[in-house]
A and B are shown apart, each in its own frame.
Chain A
Amino acid sequence: KAGVTQTPRYLIKTRGQQVTLSCSPISGHRSVSWYQQTPGQGLQFLFEYFSETQRNKGNFPGRFSGRQFSNSRSEMNVSTLELGDSALYLCASSLSQNLNEQYFGPGTRLTVT
């Protein structure tokens, strides 16, 4: 069974631009969570989607948004990029929103210049 995949793996953007990251969960998994990882702040929860609905949201500004499609694939969008948005963005999938065993994708390394 294929693991969680994320595209693109690396991305360079300039301040003020917007970016869309994609995550395909493990087949059969319906919950997708997004995390931001930086050296300074560590791993932080962004939001969780289940059955195309955002179930939970972390403490991030409204520039960070996402959505989930009927096939459980998820996208994350960041608008008006700031230098501080440079990070590794990880997505994780699980069978349902109540299961804690999550499987992480390889991440997308975003660099904002």
Chain B
Amino acid sequence: EDKVVQSPLSLVVHEGDTVTLNCSYEVTNFRSLLWYKQEKKAPTFLFMLTSSGIEKKSGRLSSILDKKELSSILNITATQTGDSAIYLCAGRVDNNDMRFGAGTRLTVKP
């Protein structure tokens, strides 16, 4: 059965800290891995990763995929209180189905 596992489930840090969120996946016919940030209601898209070893960056956020290890990490440097959210990763398979992980709840304290 396809599954996506995220760790840790929750994380509390202070402003300025660097965090690393983990996502491992076991999905058949893997196509891509996506990261989302969910603050109040709707998730917002962060990254889509298809190729192993290529880092994607957007400001203080970056992510990389390791297809050999079936995993991905999301890094956030110099965290701010506005980074507090649930971070979701999802594996997308050939039929465009998406399997989401349970999410990591990040709390950044001032």
Contacts and interface: CB of A to CB of B under 8 A. Distances in A.
Give the contact-size bracket for chain B: 20 to 34
Given A42-B103, A100-B32, A100-B92, A107 B42 contact: yes
Chain A at the B interface: mostly helix, strand, loop or mixed? Answer: strand
Give the contact-size bracket for chain A: 20 to 34
B42 A45 contact: no
Contacts, number: 47
Contacts of B88: 42-43
A87 interface: no
A44 interface: yes
Interface of A: 4, 33, 35, 42-45, 48, 55-56, 58, 88, 90, 97, 100-107
Given A100-B34, A100-B48, 17 more contacts: A33-B96, A42-B101, A42-B103, A43-B43, A43-B90, A43-B100, A45-B97, A55-B95, A56-B96, A58-B97, A100-B92, A101-B48, A102-B45, A104-B42, A104-B44, A105-B42, A106-B42
